[in-house]
Amino acid sequence: MTRRDSHQTWGGRFSEGPDARVAAFTESVSFDSRLAAHDIRGSIAHARMLASVGVLTDAEFEQIAAGLEAISQRIADGAFEWDPALEDVHMNIEARLTEDIGALGKKLHTGRSRNDQVATDIRLWLRDAIDALIAEVVRLRSALIDLAEREAETVMPGFTHMQVAQPVTFGHHMLAWQAMLARDSERLREVRARVNRLPLGAAALAGTTFPIDREMVAGELGFDSVIDNSLDAVSDRDFAIEFVSAASLIMTHLSRASEELVLWMSPAFGFVDLPDRYCTGSSIMPQKKNPDVAEIVRGKTARVNGHLVALLTLMKGQPLAYNRDNQEDKEPIFDTVDTLLASVALYADMMPHVTVHASVCREAARKGFSTATDLADYLVRRGVAFRDAHEIVGQSVQHAIGAGCDLADLELTTLQRFSTVIESDVYDVLTLDGSVAARNHIGGTAPAQVRAAVSRARAML
């Protein structure tokens, strides 16, 4: 029989093959073929274990391993023909192995099922993907830390409710982005630890009658431990949901940064400029320079969030143990990794080249009476109750609005009309530089604290 004629390894029970539409509907090799390298790696470890416990001879193991390595090379060279009639990556590789080395290839599947095999493959693949993502997140964090150091003294307005609130430094703002990504790095490492547990050996759902050595396989494949319960091993997709949840948070953080970059780059703000190579123009308005990378990352966040909802919904009604529904877990995971990796990498490339217009940022901080809180704090230090100080400052702001000037531009005699405790040293706190410098504590926006935070953040990397 040809490989296509014996289209399934499970065909013995059936009197006919599946309807062509069913075969097309149920195949997964069109997307799970990207697991091939990990499938082969897991199969070699499984075969080595079978030899160690006497199910295979050493010679049989060597022949199987050599056959799998040859298939791996053909796949890498693009010379492997994937057959949708064989359903998935596992059956394609096993069928080709049997073609290449004969009936011995059929022994490879002893003591395992596609259920624990695919669970192993996806964990191996996702573990590598997480490692790559952590590296890119670290690269972006490093870029933000460098930018924070460069702009440690650049004063800009801090906002609440998108209204000017208090002056901060641009470097302090970049370190806030970095702090979000630092938590993301922690989450990815935590998820990786739960991904890194071996399901192989659970077989279909109940384990196997063969004398397997699961710890040996775990050691060879670099897993930290084996999953204790065979039912849980083949049916669990918590690790996938956790990963996509962590990815959704990273994309949400990038989306928030994107929103700020889009605003800051607009002429209405003019705080920053992005390199031309990360922007595009308009088909009708020649003056436009659109921050497309930021906008598309903001948009792709919805895509990843959708994958999280899809996986949660996929699992919510499944009884134990494995169900074919779980074929639908791979495309959301694959696309989440692809989307996240591209987004983080582009940001890591782009952020070192952001141009910050310090004078524009500073002028914007002068608007909106951003040092009003500093005046209130000044009054409190002079013995005025905070609620009374709040009222005094409100009256001062109202007067400055009518005069068309900033608080720092009001004459001392004018300020003293609102409180007699005000003296000439008030101008030390009403200036932008005085305001940011006064917040000189851990977590504060003072330039000295930004530089100290930069050092701590670098040490964390």
Helices 238-265 and 170-195, interaxial angle, to 10°?
170
**What's the pLDDT score for residue 9?**
64
Q: Which residues of the chain form CATH 1.20.200.10?
A: 115-362
**What's the pLDDT score for residue 19?**
82
Class of the CATH domain delimited by 366-450: mainly alpha
Is residue 412 scored above 80 in pLDDT?
Answer: yes
Q: Tell how far CA 356 is from the center of its chain.
A: 26
Q: What is the DSSP letter of 319?
A: P
Quick check: is 161 catalytic? yes
**pLDDT (tens digit per residue) in 355-392:** 999 999 999 999 889 999 999 999 999 999 999 999 99
Question: Residue ranges of the alpha helices (H) in 196-329?
Answer: 214-221, 230-235, 238-265, 292-315
Q: CB under 8 Å to 199, separation ≥6 — which residues?
A: 116, 119, 120, 123, 226, 227, 233, 234, 236
Class of the CATH domain delimited by 18-110: mainly alpha
**What's the pLDDT score for residue 2?**
42
Quick check: is 28 catalytic? no
What residue has token string 């060879």?
A: 220
The helix (H) or strand (E) run that includes residue 390 is helix 386-403
Token duo for residue 389: 């100080």
CA distance 405 to 154: 22
Q: Could you tell me which CATH number the domain at 115-362 has?
A: 1.20.200.10
Q: Which residues of the chain form CATH 1.10.40.30?
A: 366-450
The pLDDT confidence band at residue 283, using thresholds 50, 70 and 90, is confident
The pLDDT confidence band at residue 31, using thresholds 50, 70 and 90, is very high
CA distance 198 to 170: 46
**What's the pLDDT score for residue 6?**
47
3-state SS, residue 324 = helix
Q: Which residues of the chain form CATH 1.10.275.10?
A: 18-110
**pLDDT (tens digit per residue) in 59-71:** 999 999 999 999 9
If one counts every other C-beta atom within 10 angstroms of the C-beta of residue 74, the result is 14
Closest by CA to 82, choosing from 1, 3, 2, is 3
Q: Which of 15, 161, 424, 441 is catalytic?
A: 161
Q: Which of 30, 225, 266, 282 is catalytic?
A: 282
**Vertex 192 angle, CA 88 and 248, to 5°:** 85
CA distance 89 to 110: 18
